[in-house]
Amino acid sequence: MGLDSGQDLDDKGAMRWFVEVTGRPRTDVECVEGDSWNEALQRTRMFRGDPGPMSGFSVEVRDEGATALDPAGRIRYDVRRAPDDASLTVLPSAPPSSVVVLHERTHDATRELPLTYRERAVLAPIGTDDAAVERLLHSELARLRAGLSGKPPGQYVNLAVFDVPFEGKPKTRPRATLSWKDWREAPKFERIKPSSPATAPNATPKPLAPRQTSAKRRPGDELLADLFEAVHDLQFVHDASEASELCLALAADRIPCRAGLLHLYDINKRQFVVTAARGGALSLLLQRTSERDAALATAMGFRRAAVFGPEALARFGATLRYEVVGVVASVVVAPAMEHGRFVGALELMDPLDGSPFTETEASALGYLAQQFAELVASRHFGLDEERIRARARASGAPTA
């Protein structure tokens, strides 16, 4: 039976409806007004951040309501008449003018990076109750998803609500977050425990804590989505040394490999300088390499991340950094460039699972390297070898 069957019930004017939503991780019951069960269902779906068409739904219409099943999201909606005096759930229907956007970041899908990303942090006044915070997140998600209509698959929305204004780095943790990926079943809501305001950064060099790395690699969509979210941390570094370490850590922790390097370009000497190193390449910190190095020059010439296998590496000939690491079978080099100028390069060697790097991983690293390049250029970060040595001493790492 068609969806318009709900209109048989609209001769009584606006009525109240219970909409029971069953899915992961819980069941919610909303009470909304509508001239029909269909209108009540659509308002509830919009509130929950799912304004899309119902073409894939199966619907069973009853005397005073309906059951709609969303097989893709594995969500069941049961709509039934509610008493006229039932308490209504407050559902925002239009963007409230009082919503303050504290931070926003967007990316539209490209051939190299096939992910459409929206990130937004909004302000809720101190004292806003938990239910209102969750409703605010769902209403923001609904508006953003409506704006993504017509965009290709591979959509990721990341939202947060804060009750303390900020510029740049937040001073407190968010009240709650909501994330949605169109390849997942449903939006993921998380309420955050409060914390004390962040203290001012310590001027003493602080080494990055090493992580336990497994050989498991992430699927393409998850890798891109994770990097898009994590790369925001680059905005809070203080110099090129910190930026290099964080950029390399973001890459190597998500694509487990034997070794990794972040090179910063020294324009005066036309050389690449290792400003961060991981794994078997630790001893190469501050090692200098000519801009004519085969792998680096090739990737720079491509102006995009490149994957090199055994044949290409054999053509490149003897390369000190590969000799230090050992037998290298797969390398990915992502150039960091700003307006056509060399800024540096991100290089990983040999995935731990023995398989070569993929083009999707190369594209993800290309995005990360581009963010590094934009940061270094916009902050005018320069090469500070003493700072790098100080951070290396703090972590016990050797330098060249």
Q: Is 94 a residue whose pLDDT tops 70?
A: no
Mean pLDDT of 156-176: 86
Give the CATH H-level superfamily of domain 220-395. GAF domain (3.30.450.40)
Per the model's pLDDT, the better-predicted residue between 46 and 111 turns out to be: 111
Mean pLDDT of 53-73: 83
Contacts of 258 (CB under 8 A, 6+ apart): 279, 280, 325, 326, 328, 349, 350, 352
Look at residue 196 and give its three-state secondary structure.
coil
Of 231, 230, 222, the residue nearest 370 (C-alpha): 231
Question: By the 8 A CB rule, do 346 and 333 touch?
Answer: yes
Q: What is the mean pLDDT of the chain?
A: 82
pLDDT value of position 286: 94
Mean pLDDT of 283-307: 94
Q: pLDDT tens for residues 122-150? A: 998 878 888 889 988 988 898 888 888 78
Would you say the pTM of this structure is higher than 0.75? no
What CA–CA distances, in Å, run from 166 to 122, 172, 180?
A: 10, 9, 24
pLDDT value of position 51: 56
Residues of 221-237 as b/e, b for ≥16 C-beta within 10 angstroms? bebbbbbbeebeebeeb
- Tokens 């302000």 belong to 123
pLDDT value of position 183: 81
| H helices present in the chain, as ranges | 37-47, 130-147, 220-230, 240-254, 294-302, 310-316, 320-325, 359-379, 385-395
Q: Is 26 a residue whose pLDDT tops 60?
A: no
Q: pLDDT tens for residues 254-275? A: 999 999 999 999 999 999 999 9
Domain ranges of the chain: 3-81, 100-191, 220-395
| pLDDT bracket for residue 99 (50, 70, 90) | confident
Q: pLDDT tens for residues 200-227? A: 333 333 434 344 445 678 877 788 888 8
Question: By the 8 A CB rule, do 230 and 340 touch?
Answer: no
